[in-house]
Amino acid sequence: MDSSQLSTAAGSDPRADEQFRAEIREWLAGNLVGEFAELRGLGGPGREHEAFDERLAWDRHLAAAGWTCLGWPTEYGGRAAPLRQLVIFHEEYARADAPARVSHVGEELLGPTLIAFGTEEQRTRFLPGIKTVTELWCQGYSEPGAGSDLAAVSTTARRDGDDWVLNGQKVWTSLAHVADWCFVVCRTEPGSLRHKGLSYLLVPMDQPGITVRPIVQLTGTSEFNEVFFDDARTDAGLVVGEPGDGWRVAMGTLTFERGVSTLGQQIEFARELAALAELAERNGSAADPLIVDRLDRARVGLRVMRAQALRTLGSDDSGAASVSKLLWANWHRELGELAMDVVGAPGLLAAGGELSPWQRLYLFSRSDTIYGGSNEVQRNIIAERVLGLPREARP
């Protein structure tokens, strides 16, 4: 199945979909020009440092033209675009080699979470700033002792009059150093364990009680951060859902995280694979039958990944989301390993101290099977929630 086949589903309008495709394609062609043309291909995982301010300006340009938050209901500023049109948007955006968005966390994660679980007051306060890209967000989930095991969080929040007061530490917080707000999963019921007693708070980043410390990665960049809360405060009304209901809300956010944007990601993967195959032809490594076999396997894997994504679009099945994460994360990590074998000995050196795109791909893709839920956690979800196997023993 491809995106064109989505338009043949019951209740769809193929002509409207093709008009939509032509509209976004024409708009991108007419707007990725001048200073914005220089942003093509910039940004994304491991490269968030590239032209950040310029990409932020591009995001705001998209917003002014009505190209943000397409799937949101019209009453919250969206177009209520159907799923198949969201797929079309992400595909055309990737095909145009448009720069990676800086507002993903707000638009794709928090916005849908507030629409599903928030109060009308919270939606009125925060959704406009997400849509116009005037407020940026980060995600406060992982901790030093609770990486992929979100239920083990120990960051606390206690009520103090009209405020929540937070203490603890989050880690691997993407773009916390540029974010205005953070949605934080923390423990609000003293003595509670695991999934119980957690709450989902919206916390302003610009305050004395918050310290952000960038983490230097293997690539030399620092898009991940440690975030320390020392009597940090947020308004008592900025809890999404009820106090103690944070696990349900947090799981809702994770479901939104694995949405249609993954199809755009796969187009970028296909571009990387095509460029690697061209390099193999140029430098002679394609003469090695093992390299040829691995390139062919990568092509097959990409098609499998795409079929799985299209088959499970709109599903709230956590098992399907886990399968998709395992597929793309392991495929991309293996592509990085293949890239180093195609490059050969020159890949061992950083010319002038700078990493090549293939070296950066290899190094950063090592983290693909860790962030967003590690391989081990995804396999546990499939085993326990889909196959019905006994739960893993916990200390």
Chain segment 150-166, per-residue pLDDT in tens: 667 889 999 999 999 99
When pLDDT is cut at 50, 70 and 90, the band that residue 239 belongs to is: very high
When pLDDT is cut at 50, 70 and 90, the band that residue 387 belongs to is: confident
Helix (H, G, I), strand (E, B) or coil at 103: coil
Question: Is the pLDDT confidence value at 49 over 80?
Answer: yes
Which residue would you say has higher pLDDT here, 210 or 192?
210
What is the end-to-end Cα distance of the chain in Å, rounded? Answer: 44
Helix (H, G, I), strand (E, B) or coil at 83: helix
The pLDDT value recorded for residue 259 is 58
Residues ≥6 apart with Cβ < 8 Å to 268? 44, 94
Contact status, residue 229 vs residue 204, Cβ threshold 8 Å: no
Can 257 be counted among the known catalytic residues?
A: yes
Q: pTM of the entire structure?
A: 0.80
| Mean pLDDT across the chain | 86
326, two tokens:
């395992």
Residues 297-356: tens digit of each pLDDT: 999 999 998 888 777 766 666 677 788 888 989 999 999 999 999 999 888 887 777 788
Which residue would you say has higher pLDDT here, 67 or 375?
67
Catalytic residue among 92, 107, 223, 257: 257
Place of tokens 């679009």: 313
Residues 268-294: tens digit of each pLDDT: 888 889 999 999 999 999 999 999 999
| Distance in angstroms (rounded) separating the CA atoms of residues 209 and 76 | 32
The pLDDT value recorded for residue 4 is 45
The pLDDT value recorded for residue 146 is 67
